A and B are shown apart, each in its own frame.
Chain A
Amino acid sequence: MLVLKKTTIDKLPELAACLMEKGTLVAPVKEAGGFNFRAITDAAQVDLIFHNTILSPKTVFFPQTEDFVRYSVYQPILEAKPVEPEIRPTFLFGVRPCDVKSFEIMDIHFTRTGVPDPYWRKRRDATIIFGFAFDTSEEADPAEFYHTLGIGAADPDGSDVFMLRRDDVLFLKAVSPRGENLLGGLAGLTDAAPDERKYFDDYIAQGHDYKTRYTCVDAEAIAKEFEAIFHNTDFWTKVSNACLSCGICTFVCPTCYCFDICDETQFGQGVRRRVWDACMFTDFTLEASGHNPRTQVYQRLRQKICHKYSFHIRKYGPISCVGCGRCTRYCPVNIDIFSIVEQAVQAKWYKRM
Chain B
Amino acid sequence: MSENNPYIPMPVEISKIIDEVDTHDIKTFRFTFVNKDDEQKFVYLPGQFAELSIYGKGESPIGIASAPTDAGYVEFTVQRAGAILPGLVTSALHDMDEGGRIGLRGPLGHSWPIEFLEKKNIVVVGGGFAFTTLRSLVKYMLHKDNRSRFGDITVIYGARTPGLLCYKDELAAWEKRSDIKTIITVDKGNETWTGREGFVPAVCKDVAPSPENAVAVICGPPVMIKFTLPVFFELGFSKENILTSLEMRMKCGIGKCGRCNVGYKYVCSDGPVFSLAELEDLPRDF
Contacts and interface: CB of A to CB of B under 8 A. Distances in A.
Contacts of A118: 1, 4-6
B258 A257 contact: yes
A225 B84 CA distance: 37
Interface string A79-116: 01011110000000000000000000000011001110
Interface stretch (A18-26, A126-134, A174-182, A289-297): A289-297
A82 B102 CA distance: 15
B6 to A, nearest CB: 5
A261 B285 contact: no
A69 interface: yes
Interface stretch (B140-148, B151-159, B198-206, B244-252): B244-252
B255 A114 contact: yes
Given A82-B8, A279-B258, A285-B249, A263 B57 contact: yes
B257 to A, nearest CB: 5
Contacts, number: 131
Contact of A287 (B34, B248, B255, B257): B248
Given A114-B269, A261-B7, A231 B1 contact: no
Given A261-B59, A265-B56, A272-B55, A77 B102 contact: yes
Nearest to A73: B56
Interface stretch (A5-13, A237-245, A310-318, A321-329): A310-318
A273 B76 CA distance: 25
A299 B261 CA distance: 13
Given A78-B11, A261-B58, A315-B264, A115 B256 contact: yes
A281 to B, nearest CB: 11
10 contacts: A73-B56, A77-B103, A78-B11, A80-B55, A114-B255, A261-B251, A263-B58, A287-B247, A294-B285, A310-B264
CB-based closest 4 A-B pairs: A290-B83, A258-B258, A288-B81, A82-B2
Given A285-B248, A288-B60, 5 more contacts: A77-B102, A82-B5, A277-B257, A285-B249, A290-B84
Interface of A: 68-69, 71, 73, 76-78, 80, 82-85, 109-110, 113-115, 117-119, 122, 227, 230-231, 257-263, 265, 270, 272, 274, 277, 279, 284-290, 293-294, 299, 303, 306-307, 310-312, 314-315
